[in-house]
A = this chain, B = another copy of it.
Amino acid sequence: MPAVTEPRTAPAGRRERPAKPALTREGVVATATALVREEGAARLTMRRLAQRLDTGPASLYVYVRDTAELQAAVLGEFLAGVDLAPVGAAGPWDERLRRVLASYAGLLHDYPGLARVAVVTRPSGEHYLALIEALLALLAEGGVPDDRAAWLVDLFLLVATASAAEHGTRAEEHTEAAADDAVARAVRGASADRFPHVARLVEDLLSGEGPDRARWFVDLMLAGAAAVPRPSPSLVGEG
């Protein structure tokens, strides 16, 4: 073991670490985003983030209100990765819409912890607005009435997010199918007397999670939105 030639911290009073950069909100969020990218959302904690930034956790509270706000910011940062190119591309509008949604879903699929956050926390930042704008533009192009389009976008994102959260969690657990097995066992073992429909449809109930199902969901929502008007025009004026 060679002797340590330099102490961990610089000589005495003043320290000159490798340029411990001054903290800013942007820096904090950027480091948090990197942390999630490298280690997953479950590892994004105030304490671990502080460690990366070479401070104590208390210092972070100067830049973010709490964990929820931090997660919203990271989520917003990640949405930069959604491919919005299909909006301006050639081809049928609904096919391009499916591509945008698939890009969003794929992102959350790769970061299941983030999907879990997204179920509960709205992303902050402009990328989220850009995503909504993109979906609204495509729906407008497809002639979906404005009021339905607004709610439909919500439904699209809700379904994509929740699917990713649900599936991602199962995929992470134990040996990939262990937790699912609990449901699978229950469904497969369902008494045909008491649960005849379940027993008859076992395979259909357990199939899916694949892209087939996601695509069917989108098709269904599009067809449904085209067919069903929004509830009574409401008596509320334009406020």
Interface positions of A (Cβ within 8 A of B): 68, 72, 116, 119-122, 124-125, 128-130, 132-133, 136-137, 140, 146-147, 149-155, 158-159, 161-163, 165-166, 169, 173, 179-180, 182-183, 186-187, 190, 194-198, 200-201, 203-205, 207-208, 212-213, 215-217, 219-225, 227-228, 230-231, 238-239
Contacts and interface: CB of A to CB of B under 8 A. Distances in A.
Given A151-B208, A231-B215, A183 B133 contact: no
A133 B199 CA distance: 9
A124 B220 contact: no
Contacts of A183: 122
A197 B136 contact: yes
Contact of A116 (B119, B124, B136, B227): B119
Given A129-B198, A158-B162, A203-B239, A186 B124 contact: yes
Contacts of A222: 224
A123 B169 CA distance: 14
Contacts of A120: 116, 165-166, 169
A6 to B, nearest CB: 45
A121 B169 contact: yes
A101 to B, nearest CB: 15
A200 B124 CA distance: 20
A201 B169 contact: no
Contacts of A158: 159, 162-163, 166
A128 B163 CA distance: 19
A204 B166 contact: no
Contacts of A137: 197
A146 B227 contact: no
Determine which residue in A183, A220, A221 has the highest number of CB atoms from chain B within 10 A of its CB, and name it.
Answer: A220
A220 B228 contact: yes
